[in-house]
Structure 1
């Protein structure tokens, strides 16, 4: 198959199409190829301090929290996150802002010249492109979100200033294994000797601590070294000399505690009043994001059992305010749909299933088949998020909250519908 190589004057869309076709696999484990290309164009000798952020859930919100705290103090920050919701540009932020298309095109041109015959996957290309942009902008700090696992993820070619693991749960079982111990071992691959390794998970698999001890990482563990306690409308966080209580932030308390602990260990926390203000102002797209007040509509990226448990707590809060809960779910076929639905079913009054577009989409009928029997009869199916919303919104009553969830693609479709 011949691929016409784009140039510096090609559009970002042309480049992304080219990258999608370059490598036969979406995912290829191993770091040799990526490291080789990075060394060819000297991406790894950077003065920026790099914080690697791995975990099953909560990477994006933890990074967003750390980014906001660093920016509030006047540091320059590059943040790399994936996947994007609507535009590729969302994956790379400099000081909280997306970059123009041409910046990405220039970075891809540099990689294309530097990779020679080495094959790269789409994700590896994106990761190296981000590193090239961070080097060009010479940021003080880089927050690098790990794509899949840790040990063999493209992001793991760097030398981190600190490593963070947010949570450990089952996802991508075909690559990472089907127990939390196997997944944890893979994620712990981002630790380094004598380097802070902050773990936010509340039930840390022994494989994580075993590996950390084996390589002599400086481990800072949730429930041992730092603690957080959910309060009625906020949280309390404790670590070393810090003991602070906050009103309820827009992101999960566990991720706030993990982010604050990592920054505290690196001596990078803002003073108390700035810290409070920064937390209050924090918003993250697609994480229990309110799209509309009347009718009441939220959207959330939850797509595995752990994130569904968090969504369950948010829906319970709405329930306690007197709302009925209607859910529009659309997921990818490789996700554990039965577990996700079971985590939420008791709090949901009615389900609607939709089919996403794209080759990995789960069909609405297959989602319907795992809805528990007591609610299946009243569940409707639609062939898209937009057709479902066209029907659901005019019917929605004031005492009802509609939650559209199930994947990043689901959230993107919901946000697009509103725009």
Structure 2
């Protein structure tokens, strides 16, 4: 590790490099260290009301829906998300906007001055930095996305006014377990006694409900306490005396329904016209984001079984219109490549595979070898950029290219089309 220690006048890039070197592990489960530093800095005493959001998929879209609906009612909102796509600044938003580098530098400097000899991971530093910024900005509401699981994630040091689980599926099995019941139990660790606990999953593992009942959380469950339905044009949500219908949002209807249910439980549900306007204008970077109109190119961060199923559903709507679907995929080594291929195989006609420039990335040849047990691979490439340059000339009218598989894949695709 370098002896360089950044100051309050150092750049954000210098600080991020420093944080990456501070702790030998990217992930270290447990709350003791991060809670100790948070207490030393006084981050847990705040007037902001915190909504804690966990889930295998859908955290970002649910948070952004909540953000939009709270802002529409005049509240100030801080939002923390990870990972970022292009810039670290994407991880922290105040009222929907990213902040200048100096806000992050100031927060990291304060934490580094106060932590003593307590070692923190990169994610723990980021989480505490976000909490420091939210306290500095004195926002009304904080939307805090859980990084991994729930029970032992750094975000779980806070006292939320509501806890949310969007979905439960298999991911990060080395940390969370290899069954939905084990994963669900870990995520349910963000529940609090007597506090609303909203679960949007459509097939809730019994461990989530059992734990919620054991600690007497105020459970609000999909398909029991709230319901939604959708078709190609509309989205309907029902809860208690509400039975509302809106135009189909750009985000998954399940996540929109979960967000509305959170606001209902907190007595913050706005008028139907406000909801309709918010849903109509809601877009989320990296979630079926259009990069090009001609040829038609989309990108999506889908990287596990559930998110791949949802992406396949979207692609199938194009196939029904006569489109031929090309897929360009790059994935990390610790993801379930076969599960993703199985979920996508009927939606994709041609497969292209790229290596990722990341220590955790899978080489194209290795990924192609795995995928060929499920689909026919039409080409392998050294980088996402090389793949895009090669595939684009192959596209013609009624062709669609979907670039997916990882946040890193999406980031490279966005950079390619922005350059």
Q: Does TM-score exceed 0.5, indicating one fold?
A: yes
Offset of residue 372 of structure 1: 4.0
Q: Is this contact kept in 2: 1:38–1:44, CA < 8 A?
A: yes
**Structure 1 residue 375: Cα displacement:** 4.7
Alignment of 1:285 with 2:285, yes or no, is: yes
**Which residue pairs with 2:319 in the alignment?**
319
Residue by residue, what CA displacement relative to the aligned partner does 1:391-414 show, whole Å, maximum 9, x if unpaired?
Answer: 111221011000000011111001
Measure how far apart 1:373 and its partner are. 5.6
* Residue 18 (1) aligns with residue 18 (2): yes
Secondary structure at 1:163's aligned position in 2?
Answer: strand
- Matched residues in 2 for 1:74 and 1:35: separation? 31
Give the whole-Å Cα distance in 2 for the aligned partners of 1:3 and 1:308.
43
Give 1:322-333 correspondences, 5 Å limit. 322-333=322-333
Partner of 2:80: 80
Aligned to 1:394: 393
- Over the aligned positions, Cα root-mean-square deviation in angstroms equals 0.9
Deviates more, 1:263-272 or 1:288-297: 263-272
Show the 5 A alignment for 1:343-362.
Answer: 343-362=343-362
Asked whether the 8 Å contact 1:341–1:370 carries over to 2, the reply is no
Q: For the residues of structure 1 that align with 2:375 and 2:281, how far apart are their CA atoms?
A: 38
More divergent stretch after superposition (59-68 vs 266-275): 266-275
C-alpha distance in structure 1 between counterparts of 2:229 and 2:208, whole Å: 23
What CA distance in whole angstroms lies between the structure 1 residues aligned with 2:61 and 2:223?
20
Once the 2 structures are TM-superposed, how far is the Cα of residue 233 of structure 1 from its aligned partner? 1.6
Q: Aligned partners of 1:247 and 1:371: how far apart in 2?
A: 37
Secondary structure of the residue aligned to 2:188 is helix
Q: Which moved more, 1:319-328 or 1:1-10?
A: 1-10
**Aligned equivalent of 1:405:** 404
Moved over 2 A (4+): 370-376
Query: Paired residues, what number?
Result: 418
- Distance in structure 1 (CA, Å) of the matches to 2:279 and 2:174: 37
Contact 1:345 1:372 in 2 (8 A): no
2:207 paired residue number: 207
Kept in 1, the 8 Å contact 2:338–2:374? The answer is no
Correspondence for 1:140: 140
In the alignment, is the contact (CA less than 8 A) between 1:62 and 1:256 conserved in 2?
Answer: yes
Does 2:368 correspond to 1:368? Answer: yes
| Structure 1 unpaired stretches of 5+ | none
| Secondary structure class of the residue paired with 1:379 | strand
Counterpart of 1:216 in structure 2 is 216
Query: How far apart, in 2, do the equivalents of 1:375 and 1:251 lie?
Result: 28
Superposed displacement of residue 371, structure 1: 2.6
Task: Give 1:370 shift.
Answer: 2.5
TM-score (norm 2): 0.98
Shift of 1:368: 1.0
Distance 2:203 2:372 in 1: 29
Partner SS, residue 345 of structure 2:
helix
Which secondary structure state, in structure 2, belongs to the residue aligned with residue 410 of structure 1?
A: helix
Instruction: Give the TM-score normalised by the residue count of structure 1.
Output: 0.98
Change over 3 Å in CA distance of 1:151–1:353 after alignment to 2 = same
Compared CA separation, residues 195 and 375, structure 1 to 2 (3 A): closer
User: Does the CA contact (< 8 Å) of 2:65 and 2:282 recur in 1?
Assistant: yes
- Measured after TM superposition, the shift of residue 309 of structure 1 is 0.4
Tell me what 1:383 maps to.
Answer: 382
Structure 2 vs 1, CA of residues 195 and 372 (structure 1 numbering), >3 Å: closer, same or farther? same
Equivalent residues of 2:337, 2:371 under 8 A apart: no
CA contact (8 A) 2:230 2:236 kept: yes
